[in-house]
Amino acid sequence: MARRLAPGVWVLELAVPVVGANAFLVDDGEVTLVDAGLPRFGLCRELRDAGHDPGDIDRVLVTHYDIDHIGGLRDLPVRDVPVFVGERDAALLTGTYDPPLFHHKGAFHRFARRVVSIPSRFDVRPVSNGTRVGEFTVYHTPGHNPGHTVYVHERLRLGLLGDLVWERDGTLTPPKWWDSYDTGEIRRSIRAFAGSVPPFDLLCMGHGTPILRGGSDALASLARRL
């Protein structure tokens, strides 16, 4: 069930143990969906729990291409909504970038993009580091995926980190090697992002329980441990 984390911010609980990922809804005067969970995991139900119909969505921000982060878009009964995706992951989805064939995740993505992609009824817009989308700032944070992207809303003091970090038992960790392209690059991205981002309180990740206070401090603590 959708849960309000702060004024204008909800977690859409589309994850269950082992499978699925959190999505988030942000209403700052415009309604933004961040990631979409797996197909048929109840995205529209969660939106309504948060007090919004699917037709209210003004934009979608995608942190990266993985089925548990974009699959639910096929269940969203809307057309022409802009979907913002990091440049390299947008290229992966269109086929203009082929991930390495002899890499465990690259090989999987070559297959997966043929089965689950962003439906053609959406307006896919690649974004790069430093781009502004509404009140969100885009940060390119590669490693988990080549085009992994996080979004920061300074006014709401909100960081939407996708799979840059996971949360386990109150502790932030980098994603594991078996679900990533380059764990060394993930660590570099965490350190670079933690060292450049303005302070934020609410840290929202795809896997784990959001941190409601001192999110950028928790991230900086992780960066120091790496």
Query: pLDDT tens-digit profile of 171-196?
Result: 999 999 999 999 999 999 999 999 99
Q: Give the span between the Cα atoms of 223 and 202, in whole angstroms.
A: 17
Smallest Cα–Cα separation from 145: which of 94, 208, 202, 189? Answer: 189
DSSP code, position 225: H
pLDDT of residue 162: 98
pLDDT of residue 109: 98
Smallest Cα–Cα separation from 8: which of 202, 197, 142, 185? Answer: 202
User: Count of CB atoms within 10 A of residue 155's CB?
Assistant: 8
- How much of the chain exceeds pLDDT 90, in percent? 96
Q: Residue ranges of the domains in the chain? A: 3-225
Query: pLDDT tens-digit profile of 69-101?
Result: 999 999 999 999 999 999 999 999 999 999 999
- CA-based Rg of the chain, rounded to a whole angstrom? 16
Residues 6+ apart with CB under 8 A from 137: 130, 131, 151, 152, 153, 154
Is residue 117 very low, low, confident or very high in pLDDT (cuts 50, 70, 90)? very high
At residue 17, does pLDDT exceed 80? no
Domain 3-225 has CATH 3.60.15.10: yes
Ranking 15-29, 37-51, 98-112, 120-134 by mean pLDDT, the lowest is 15-29
Is residue 16 very low, low, confident or very high in pLDDT (cuts 50, 70, 90)? confident
- What is the average pLDDT across 46-65? 97
At residue 223, does pLDDT exceed 90? yes
